[in-house]
A and B are shown apart, each in its own frame.
Chain A
Amino acid sequence: MNELVVTLGWLGIYAPMALGASASAIGCAIAGQASIGAMTETEGGYGRFVGVSAFPSTMVIYGIVIMFTLNREVTPENAGGLFGIGILSGIALMYCGIWQGRACAAAINATKEKPEIFGLALAPAAIIEGFGVFAFVFALVISAGISG
């Protein structure tokens, strides 16, 4: 039984990193496809499109930091805490990254028609980034209470 609990603890440590990397990959792919499509239709501003499509890459950075914060000797006592914080923060980052990618794709699609709304079009993606930061910061705060 203890082995299973310890395994879950290790899963919790690596989950934010794995799910954050998946989130960034999917989000960047979604937004990147939009920027490629927009480049075939517009005459300039390509750098902006590529820049926006890289927004979801922050999720993997948050995941890495959470992983290092959680990284410690796993015991049956602290494994539950590591698992809970790691998995849930990873899922939060996963959703934030995928939906941020979709928000960026919509922003790129709108901006190619009306470049003047570039800043405003990024607001939804920025708000989603804020939710990702919440998940990140509070994972760090809560992890301070885990023993080990």
Chain B
Amino acid sequence: MSDPDAYIALISSLPGSERLFVAKQPPLSRLRLDRRLTALTPEDAHVLKVLEHALNWSDYGMDVTDAQAIHRCKQALGDIPQPTLRKLLMERMDLRTAVAALRLRKRGGNPPAASYGIGRGSRHIPANWTDPGFRLKGAMPWIKEAQQLLGADDPLGLERLLLSVSHKQLKRHAARHLFDFEAVAIYVLIWNIFDRWAQSNAQDAATRFEHLAQQAMSGAAAIDFDGAST
């Protein structure tokens, strides 16, 4: 259990996590967030880095194997002393294991051997491979909707569902931590969800695509194909 009053000033200096999702402009950039996080002790900063390293997709290479990802998660669990953060990490791994299994099954993959992924579903999923929700609907009520979105080829909808589930998990833990290190770590993880959420904004993506297309087209007009000046 961390000191309950360790980071009162730090937490109070951050905009409320709810505001992250309703604001048109991000109320806090990663640069500013990192500047605020310099208030963390070296030990807590290390734990936060390990946690983010295990959870952030951007920290995983495209060629990462299941074994490597599981190894990284187990290593992180060894480095994180706070029970809440360990539980939080395992919950996210449960979610990822279930979604990875749904994707594998949709691609027509064979049922995995005795164990798959990491977490409480690792043995349960192979044993219930033919059940639509791997008999996990009680523990993971969102799995039915995830399966439907996957079946409907709606990756954006699925991404948003998973971000929403992860956000709810974090908010549930946040209710028990007000000004301690766990509260800071949960805030940073919510910020990461907000960041991914903002990146998955379809309208923004369309605008960005249009802008890039226009840039490319204007660049193409200036190309001198025949060696003649234009």
Write the A27-38 contact mask toward B (1 if CB under 8 angstroms, else 0): 000100111111
- Distance, CA A105 to CA B6, complexed state (A): 12
Please name all residues of chain B whose beta carbon is closer than 8 Å to the beta carbon of A36 when the two chains form the complex: 9, 12-13
CB distance from B194 to the nearest CB of A (A): 15
What's the minimum C-beta distance from A103 to chain B, rounded to whole angstroms?
10
Asked whether, in the complex, the Cβ of B13 is within 8 Å of the Cβ of A38, the reply is yes
CB distance from B131 to the nearest CB of A (A): 44
Nearest A residue to B39 by beta-carbon distance? A37
User: Please, which residues of chain A bring their CB within 8 A of the CB of B8?
Assistant: 30, 33-34, 37, 105
How many A-B contacts are there with CB distance less than 8 Å?
A: 49
Does A113 make an interface contact (CB < 8 A)?
yes
CB distance from B182 to the nearest CB of A (A): 15
Taken together as a complex, chains A and B put the C-alpha atoms of A102 and B14 apart, in Å, by 17
A108 partner residues in chain B, CB cutoff 8 A: 12
Roughly how many angstroms separate A141 CA and B10 CA in the complex, as a whole number?
43
Q: Is the CB of A35 within 8 A of B12?
A: yes
- Contact of B16 with A102 in the complex, beta carbons under 8 Å: no
Knowing A105-B179, A106-B178 touch, does A37 contact B12 (C-beta < 8 A)?
A: yes
Nearest Cβ distance between residue B11 and chain A, in whole angstroms? 7
Do residues B15 and A41 form an inter-chain contact, with CB atoms below 8 A?
Answer: yes
- B196 at the A/B interface (Cβ < 8 Å)? no
Query: How far is it, in angstroms, between the C-alpha of A40 and the C-alpha of B19 when the chains are bound?
Result: 16
Beta-carbon contact of A105 and B12 below 8 Å:
yes
Residues of A within 8 A of B10 (CB): 37
15 pairs of residues in contact across A and B, judged by CB atoms under 8 Å: A33-B9, A34-B8, A34-B11, A34-B179, A36-B9, A36-B12, A37-B9, A37-B10, A41-B15, A102-B4, A102-B179, A105-B5, A105-B178, A106-B178, A113-B16
Give bound CA distance, A41 to B18, whole Å. 15
